[in-house]
Structure 1
């Protein structure tokens, strides 16, 4: 199976390195800059559980060099997707699937959802249909990312924790294409369960991110500080309860309660959320895919979300003040 990892930063690099090491797929990495140069010269180094592994997957700068793939794993930030979609076109043949390992609500969310919202566009991540026009929702396979990894230097991936990538078709079907991707990931040493209700899992991860990420960017607190402070914890909890009501109105079922979800975040410890890391490194934050979309869905369902609206306004202002 030919699999291309598009945007091989920390998570994409982790997936590519382990699939290449296990030879579970014919892996191509599309990257750029010093990261690409280092991989082409020295291979891709993976540091995981105290062990170092160097692999030599095909590493290229453009989709034209990579050619048509069976599957493309996209590990970009949601706000980068519109620009990247144009660059991805040479990867896409008639049967190419796109595994969207992207945080937040994906552009394909209302594809095959059924009911009154079928086929709607998610403006927060697909403004004017720019993404879906180039990456047809019919190609999409959902993927929730649970591992944590970083790029300490070009060409090097440091895997911190986690080994699960949950997969699912928007329709809930168990298709040959999703099973093929799962097989490649499992053979590489990951857990890759295929779930019939992938949106439920998207929301459980988003549930924490929509609150903890923006609050951490506003307070510069790590997860243990945020969840340990009664005031911040209450704000996060209120945001999560507002979001839960919205998700349930869209047909989502939450398998755990809000306090258990918060407790799970607290157990992670002194973790700097991705939004806080982006702020500190001067990179655009994933505001719209994680929180802007909640306010969009509040308007869609006619439900109130006062705490989410307030925090959204504040974190947008924080991003503008930082020039991001």
Structure 2
């Protein structure tokens, strides 16, 4: 049995915590005091087409106060620095630190904060929402986690991958960290920037803003390729075409609900990489500027 800490029991973190706890692992969720009290009393309720409907008992604390084997970091990028106060380095020790955030810059940040040999790049593909404290709805037909690390031996990652797989996630461990991070960011930045800029669903972006969609995908693919990631714009567009027409990006949902946008972590990361490699990305730059000013 593996022991896990989950920093940020929201849509993603709450789903992970509940599914792992249901499969017999010790799980402690790290959150604000009011959330901690709720989770201790009522656990986490999940409604999911993949994992079923169930309630899992979990422990909870405001700060990590015990030894664990691995820590999932599942906060929003906008609140990461503040949230890390709940995960002090002495308590983490040599436990694996596995971020499942949007963007790419957080991996280097976490390697400065913790043992760099224990930080694993992680990416999750899932539509999962915390509809109320301790209640998670997961409605996508997929739940896939990719894990890779330039600093952590594969043998240390394998037990976590096995636990996730046994719990029902599709798990990928055969790619390098640059590939998994840029593969997610390329699709995410394309959809997030366009849906949020135009307050539109993915289907509306495909039809009403097709030329801008193609330009954005091509520019992001070029930046990704220069950074060592995939460079196939057609692959990004194929993912956008396959996405359900009424789908919305998490950034658009944040805008609609008055929450801070992960604009710097998503669009900003693409532009910083573009500048570093001398790649013009005028459409991406225009979208980020419009969202930053609006």
Return the TM-score normalized by structure 1. 0.83
- Displacement, 1:90? 5.5
Other structure's SS at 1:63 match: coil
Aligned residue for 2:80? 81
Question: For the Cα contact (< 8 Å) 2:127–2:138, is it kept in 1?
Answer: yes
Structure 2: how far apart are the matches of 1:219 and 1:253? 27
**In structure 1, distance between residues paired with 2:133 and 2:230:** 41
82-91 or 174-183, larger mean C-alpha shift: 82-91
Matched, 1:317 2:293: yes
Q: TM-score, normalised by structure 2?
A: 0.91
Paired position in structure 1 for 2:178: 199
Listed one character per residue, the Cα deviations across residues 110-152 of structure 1 (whole Å, up to 9, x for unaligned) are xxxxxxxxxxxxxxxx5xxxx5542343331111111111112
Structure 2 regions of 5+ residues with no counterpart?
none
Matches within 5 A, 1:206-225: 206-225=185-204
1:258 aligns with 2:233: yes
Partner deviation per Cα, 1:221-255 (whole Å, 9 max, x = no partner): 011111122xx22222212211222222222234x
Matching residue within 154, 177, 189 for 2:156: 177
Residue 30 of structure 1 contacts residue 60 of structure 1 at CA under 8 Å; is this kept in 2?
yes
Shift of residue 217, structure 1, vs aligned partner: 1.6
Q: Cα–Cα, structure 1 residues 176 and 132, in superposed 2: closer, same or farther, change >3 Å?
A: closer
1:140 counterpart = 2:115: no
SS of residue in 2 equivalent to 1:288: helix
Contact (CA 8 Å) 1:85, 1:134: kept in 2 or not? no
Q: CA deviation at 1:91?
A: 6.6
Partner of 1:28: 28
Counterpart contact for 1:243–1:305, Cα < 8 Å: yes
Identify the residue that residue 222 of structure 2 maps to in structure 1: 245
Q: Is the CA contact 2:183–2:229 (under 8 Å) kept in the aligned structure 1?
A: no
Question: How many angstroms does 1:316 deviate by?
Answer: 0.6
Per-residue CA distance 1:12-49 (angstroms, 9 max, x = gap): 111111111111x2211112255433322222111112
Secondary structure at the residue paired with 1:69? coil
Q: 1:132 to 1:168 in 2, by over 3 A?
A: closer
Once residues 244 and 154 of structure 1 are traced to their aligned partners in structure 2, the CA distance between those partners, rounded to angstroms, is 37
- For 1:33 and 1:49, locate their aligned partners in 2 and report how far apart those are by CA, in whole Å: 30
Q: CA RMSD in A?
A: 2.0
The offset of 1:258, in angstroms, is: 2.2
CA distance 1:85–1:136, shift in 2 (3 Å): farther
* Number of equivalent positions: 290
> Helix, strand or coil for the counterpart of 1:73?
strand
Give CA-to-partner distance per residue, 1:189-234, whole Å, 9 cap, x none: 11222123122122122112112212212211011111122xx222
**Unaligned residue ranges in structure 1 (runs of 5+):** 110-125, 319-324
Match for residue 234 of structure 1 among 211, 215, 228: 211
Query: 2:255: which partner in 1?
Result: 279
